Amino acid sequence: MSDPLLPRPDQPDRPAGTEKSSVFPSADSGMGGLETHDMIVGEDLRETEPMASASIEVIDREKPRSLWQDAWRDLRRNWIFWVSAAIIALLLVMTVWPSLFTSLDPLSCDLSKSQAGAESGHPFGFDTQGCDVYARTVYGTRNSIIVGVFTTLGVTVLGVVLGGLAGFYGGWWDSVLSRITDIFFGIPLLLGAIVFLSSVTSGGVWVVVGFLSLFGWPQVARIARGSVITAKQQDYVTAARALGAGSKRIMVRHILPNAAAPIIVVATILLGTFISLEATLSFLGVGLRPPAVSWGIDISAAVQGFRNAPHMLFYPAGALSITVLAFIMLGDAVREALDPKLR
Amino acid sequence: MGRYVIRRLLQMIPVFIGTTFLIFFMVYSLGDPVAAFFAGKAPNPAVAAQIRHQLWLDRPLWAQYLHYMAGVFRGDFGTSFNGTPVSTLMANAFPITIRLAIIAFLFEMIFGIGLGVASGLRRGKLTDTLVLLFTLVVISIPVFVIGYLAQYFLGVKWGVISPSVSFGAPWNELIVPGIVLGSTSLAYVARLTRTTVAENSRADFVRTAVAKGLPRRRVISNHLLRNSLIPVVTFLGTDLGALMGGALVTERIFNIQGVGYNLYQGIVTQNTPTVVGFVTVLVIIYLVANLLVDLLYAVLDPRIRYV
């Protein structure tokens, strides 16, 4: 399928007078390398295509919609989508401008208020160190969202490139890339993260993002590979190739848009799980480390004394759960809109 | 089928080598075990060199890896830094964690599939909505929060269970930790079952079964369920990985001295042989489980033919 010797569309035409160029008197660049057998198929297509498209216009008066327009129509009617989108919008604002929500500094604490309950100006009370729980909950949003969003980006890029290449080229590429995928898939994510992050001494956000991307991509790669293989066998890809499109063009213009739906669905759902994973790692003491402000760190600190002051645990845990819930609900809504099987 | 099994086994060899080497690389090249040995104090260079030599640390990484792997195949996982052979630690830890995992697996399979079938057969009804809401909530609350809530309410406030599991971890004390460990997977199993049941209940073979007058129970158990469980079985294979990670958290909360507990202690104290040994075994279990799942496919779905 993927013959690199296939001529690119911008190659000059064959000299006039040969049989092939006489079949197509107009410029049919890129057909030069094809066999006559393929040419006949191409000829048929050319002759029947205008008729077919004309008749469709007569029958179907409604404007044809693409998968994405269809999905957007479905999404707009889904209340789950709007609820989760509203929560996510709020979280994003909190990520960028936490000071809009609280004037307090999450790191300036007053030990005399240790584990004190709610009071005026401090709706969520204080933690063991006497820090304001509300301020810490608001400021903790940033790290969670950064880890979630950027890990998902990293995982998607790596997974789409590696899985897509494996699916598109098949054969030798596929075997090698699939084995590499299997190797990374063979290490359970949380287990690998704990081993790796405990041996790295600096526990910044970007270390966590980098590691989770490095070990999280196989899930996306497998799905990308599958959907690229499905898309590759479609008629429009054969048609594009018959028209002389190169591998790169077919990949970017024809396969990628058609294979994207399942990848987007997985990526949205993964976003929530990455946020949860970051909290788990920070909770275990290997993810983010103090003085970073993270819900996982706060929950881990709250555990020591939450029998006396349960509010220290409930607010960060609640914020974490709501965030994960919002992203998973969004993923659910997107899947329902994009998956034709569920219609 | 036989050829497929052989091919899968052959494919597993590079994956096994790659995965174990990756773990080996992460643990040995990123941290310094000898520094951990001396708890941060500066060791006598001669002593340090002697320890390095004994532990093969003065040789290149690939030689260390080969040396270690040669030991693994003889059942020797090295000696932990406090003198106990890692295989002894494993012999103590694995029975406990296997018990915990069995409880979690049974719980998530029985209740997950049950809930999934119940809601998939009544798509759009109240049961369905309730199950969906319940699973969403369970998925979004991290395991460690569920664990602490269960420990607080069941163990401390109401006194139903003892808040921490006693030494030896008898079955009855592991029930609540097992449920906590399996809770997230329960939600995934329920949702997955719901989707496939809802899809298959409109399939032709179900309509035929109903049309030829089979009782509803038989249609569901023999025709619908058997076809719907294929993706669920795949999920259970990969889920083993999640359970391993989850066991680390659950065992820490309930003070269960199993694999997760040992592994966590090993990581905290930079006890490299313990960490590498446990992780290697877990990865082997994970790889074998996924291979078994692939082979189980053919049993469950005769349409799949392997060449």
Closest chain A residue to B275, measured at CA: A195
- Residue of B249, B233, B245 whose CA lies nearest to B282: B245
CATH 1.10.3720.10 fits B92-300, yes or no: yes
Residues of chain B whose beta carbon is less than 8 angstroms from a beta carbon of chain A are: 11, 14-16, 18-19, 22-23, 26-27, 30-31, 136-137, 139-145, 148, 152, 156, 195, 199, 241-242, 244-246, 248-249, 252, 263-264, 267-268, 270, 275, 279, 282-283, 286-287
- Residue of A248, A342, A292 whose CA lies nearest to A144: A292
Give the residue range(s) of CATH 1.10.3720.10 domains in chain A.
69-342
Q: Which CATH superfamily is domain A69-342 in?
A: MetI-like (1.10.3720.10)
Tell me which H or E stretch contains B303. Answer: none
Domain residue limits, chain B: 2-73, 92-300
Distance, in Å, from the CA atom of A267 to the CA atom of A123, rounded to the nearest integer, reads 35
Point out the least confidently predicted range of A41-45, B75-79, B192-196: A41-45
Average pLDDT over residues B180-207: 87
Distance, in Å, from the CA atom of A255 to the CA atom of A243, rounded to the nearest integer, reads 15
Structure tokens at B158: 């109401």
Give the pLDDT confidence of B11-50 residue by residue, as tens digits. Answer: 888 888 888 888 888 777 666 666 666 666 777 777 777 7
pLDDT at A228: 86
Three-state DSSP at B168 gives coil
Omega cis (within 30) before A291: yes
Testing the interface with A: which of B145, B199, B281 to mutate, by most A Cβ within 10 A? B145
Spell out the SS3 assignment of A46-95: HHHHHHHHHHHHHHCCCCCCCHHHHHHHHHHCCHHHHHHHHHHHHHHHHH
**ipTM value:** 0.81
Does B115 have pLDDT greater than 60? yes
pLDDT at A63: 66
User: What pTM, to 2 d.p., does this model score?
Assistant: 0.78
* A187 vs B contacts (CB less than 8 Å): 19, 22-23, 283
pLDDT along chain A (343 residues), means of 10: 38 37 37 42 47 49 70 81 89 85 75 72 74 83 90 92 87 86 84 80 80 88 86 85 85 82 83 88 82 84 77 85 88 78 52
* A341 vs B contacts (CB less than 8 Å): 199
Q: How far apart are the first and last CA of chain B?
A: 7
Chain B closest CA to A201's CA: distance in Å? Answer: 8
- The reply to whether A342 touches chain B by the CB within 8 Å rule is yes
